[in-house]
Amino acid sequence: ATMDITLLEKRAEQVLARFDPGKTRAARQHRPFMIEFFGTPKSGKSTMKEVLKQFFDRNKYRVYAATEGAEAIRWRPRVEPDYNLRTAEYALGEARDLCFQKSYHVGLFDRATFDAVMRMDLYREKGVLSPEQHAILEGYYLLPHNRKNLFDLHVCLVASPEVAMQRELAKAITSKPGETMNPATLQSLLDAHKRIWDRLGCADDPSMIWHDSSLESEAETAASIMSATLDAFERRLDTLPPL
């Protein structure tokens, strides 16, 4: 594992040297490298966002980690689908603004474009949205303006309902199930993510990663995600115009 970390740090150093030669980032036109984490509860999204932030920080990158929409938008009650429209608008607004922040190298998001796509699919299934409304909203979120132009990588982290409940109860002081943290809801969320992944052909898109953390330690998940992140960063560098 030590060797792996050293290797990742070496790659990160090379990527930064290519992305910001001479540390003159402010003079460049291209936006920061941006990542979205989305997926099922207790799969490690928030943890991975923090792990990547720390890794990039300590390897001399300037990192912007957006506040998660659920923390920023404090609606009670959470009216469906308006609440998720609002959290998506917040995340996409933050991402759009970040495109013009020349001081940052990396932007990290816990839920953005694909979280919105998944939520709208769930609302269509529940009958909250009509098929026509769903098609319009999904079409909007999948526009290049909300996808390719903003994000370089979308990481879908999932965990089985059993593992998610174990992780939840390991830190809880009540055994009562929550609104989301119950096996039935967790299964429906996992099903929704699988449905979208297959329907949109995400497996064929190199900017999309499906990662099941159920049988891994946090360190194993982190090493895998970090390696995939540097792969995506290198792909992005290959598309940038020469300096």
CB-based contacts of 106, cutoff 8 Å, min separation 6: 32, 33, 34, 35, 52, 56, 61, 62, 63, 64
Q: What is the pLDDT of residue 102?
A: 83
CA distance 206 to 111: 19
182-227 pLDDT, tens digit per residue, is 999 999 999 999 999 999 999 999 999 999 999 999 999 999 999 9
Q: What is the pLDDT of residue 1?
A: 52
Q: What is the pLDDT of residue 170?
A: 87
Q: What percent of the chain has pLDDT over 70?
A: 94
Whether the CB-CB separation of 73 and 112 falls below 8 Å is answered with no
User: In this structure, what token pair is assigned to residue 38?
Assistant: 């989305």
Average pLDDT over the chain reads: 92
Whether the CB-CB separation of 5 and 224 falls below 8 Å is answered with no
pLDDT at 2 over 60: no
CA distance 97 to 163: 37
pLDDT at 90 over 90: yes
Q: What is the pLDDT of residue 103?
A: 87
Q: What is the pLDDT of residue 111?
A: 96
Q: What is the pLDDT of residue 178?
A: 67
Q: What is the pLDDT of residue 181?
A: 81
Whether the CB-CB separation of 39 and 46 falls below 8 Å is answered with no
Residue type for position 29: Q
CB-based contacts of 182, cutoff 8 Å, min separation 6: 165
CB-based contacts of 73, cutoff 8 Å, min separation 6: 83, 86, 87, 90
What are the CA-CA distances from residue 172 to residues 47, 76, 165, 189 (Å)?
17, 23, 10, 21
pTM of the model: 0.92
54-82 pLDDT, tens digit per residue, is 999 999 999 999 999 989 999 988 899 99
Q: What is the pLDDT of residue 3?
A: 61
Q: What is the pLDDT of residue 177?
A: 62
Confidence band of 112 (pLDDT split at 50, 70, 90): very high
Q: Please, is 76 exposed, middle or buried when counting C-beta atoms within 10 Å of its C-beta (0-12, 13-18, 19+)?
A: exposed
CA distance 14 to 110: 26
137-178 pLDDT, tens digit per residue, is 999 999 999 999 999 999 999 999 999 999 988 877 776 666
Measured CA angle at 162 (ends 202, 180), to 5 deg? 75
